[in-house]
Structure 1
Amino acid sequence: MTAVKVIRVMGTSEESWEDAAHEAFREASQSVDDISGIRVENWTANVEDDEIVQYKATTEITFPVEH
């Protein structure tokens, strides 16, 4: 049985929620090894002048715990 750790990471994008989720993964992978899963927990956005200006994806990143 493998123990895993879960961290919450928010990614942002001016293009789409999908890009925001990819950004969260890219940022986490810079400091976390062996990511085994990502779950999108929440989609949000900033709005200005009736337009979405920033998409946000709050994610849970899962990776094994080293013994």
Structure 2
Amino acid sequence: MAVVKVIEIIASSEKSIEDALHNAVTEVSKTIHNIDSVFVKDIKVHVKDGKITTYGLICKVSFRIDEQERQEKAAK
């Protein structure tokens, strides 16, 4: 049986929303494996002097838990 875990993260970029999403996946992939999907929960921008300075995303990342890892944790 596959088990999927969901975590919530915040990502940002000075370039674009798409770049913020790319940054989210790149950074999460460094420590989380088996990523299945990313759901963008919220989008915001920071504004200074009438111009967008930063794009921000709140994302839910879904990933499958390794069966071997689950069994090792259950045995403890």
TM-score, normalised by the number of residues in structure 1? 0.92
Partners of 2:51 and 2:20 lie apart in 1 by 17
Gaps of 5+ in 1: none
1:10 shift after superposition: 1.2
One-letter amino acid of the counterpart of residue 60, structure 2:
E
User: Is the 8 Å Cα contact of residues 5 and 65 (structure 1) preserved in structure 2?
Assistant: yes
Give the 4+ runs in structure 1 shifted more than 3 A.
none
String of CA shifts for 1:21-56, please: whole Å, max 9, x gaps. 111111100100111111111100111000000000
**Aligned-pair CA distance for 1:2:** 1.4
Structure 2 unpaired stretches of 5+: 71-76
Matched, 1:9 2:14: no
Aligned residues: 67
* CA-CA distance at 1:11 after TM superposition: 1.1
Q: Output the aligned Cα RMSD.
A: 0.9
What is the distance in 2 between the residues matched to 1:26 and 1:57? 14
Structure number with higher helix proportion: 2
Pair 1:47-2:43 in alignment:
no
